[in-house]
Amino acid sequence: MAKKKFVVGCFDEEAVLFPAVKKVRTAGYKIHDVYTPFAVHGLDHALGLRETSLHTAGFIYGITGTSTALGSISWILVKDWPLNFGGKPNFSLPAWIPITFELTVLFAAVGMVLTFCYLCQLAPFVKKHHFHPRATDDLFVMVIECTEKTNVDDLQAFLSSAGAIETDVQVAEEGWWLGTYDKEETTFENSNPVVA
């Protein structure tokens, strides 16, 4: 994958981050992403991201489960191997509700999780570039993609004026790869394990 140049600004307050996102977007910069340690509600709207359709996918998986259950049970008990249970009808829908329900839930849940992993490109052994190790700890890391017209120094100064506590320029691959993290990404200032 092609490498790109990014300007990184780190914020330590949501209250500063939101106006900063607005300023950066108004100034015409393209925000590649904002990495946060927890789900910051409203940040997706502030970045202009569209709503996710994951729940719609979940619904489709769910009705797939429903029809799989009803379809196979009715075929098995009515067509393939009809059994006489005390003269009761072979098509005994009420008794099939529990399994139908369970399969609906199972299909929806498994399907949604797999779709989630696919959309976010998450899997074991997948590696991605981390713009800041504290993005999963306590920093909100705004990453802006540079074009050939971008003046990196200006942008860094602009981010600092918007409240970034730290700015940085990085050349990185977007997307994911299989392999190991770069050496400089392995360290974190926490080398003194204490006995609990």
Residues in 33-92 that interact with other proteins by CB under 8 A: 33-44, 46-47, 49, 51-52, 54-55, 58, 62, 72-73, 76-77, 80-81, 83, 85, 92
Tell me, by CB under 8 A, how many residues bind other proteins.
80
User: Which residue in the set 91, 121, 151, 182 belongs to the binding site for other proteins (CB under 8 A)?
Assistant: 121
Listed in sequence order, the residues at least 6 apart from 172 whose beta carbon sits closer than 8 Å to its beta carbon are 3, 4, 6, 129, 131
User: Which residue in the set 5, 60, 126, 150 belongs to the binding site for other proteins (CB under 8 A)?
Assistant: 126
User: Which residue in the set 4, 113, 145, 168 belongs to the binding site for other proteins (CB under 8 A)?
Assistant: 113
Minimum CB–partner distance for residue 65 and other proteins (Å): 10
With beta carbons less than 8 A apart as the criterion, state whether 158 and 26 touch.
no
**Nearest one of 129, 154, 124, 123 to 141, comparing CA atoms:** 129
Amino acid at 168: D
Amino acid at 171: V
d(CA 195, CA 136): 24
Nearer to other proteins, 148 or 187 (CB): 187
Which residues from 147-166 bind other proteins, rule CB under 8 A?
none
Q: Does 134 bind other proteins (CB under 8 A)?
A: yes
Q: Does 8 bind other proteins (CB under 8 A)?
A: no
- Please give the backbone phi and psi of residue 168, each rounded to the nearest 5 degrees, phi first: -165, 150
Distance of CA 161 to CAs 25, 29, 51, 115, 157, Å? Answer: 15, 15, 30, 40, 6
Q: Does 184 bind other proteins (CB under 8 A)?
A: no
Minimum CB–partner distance for residue 36 and other proteins (Å): 5
Minimum CB–partner distance for residue 42 and other proteins (Å): 4
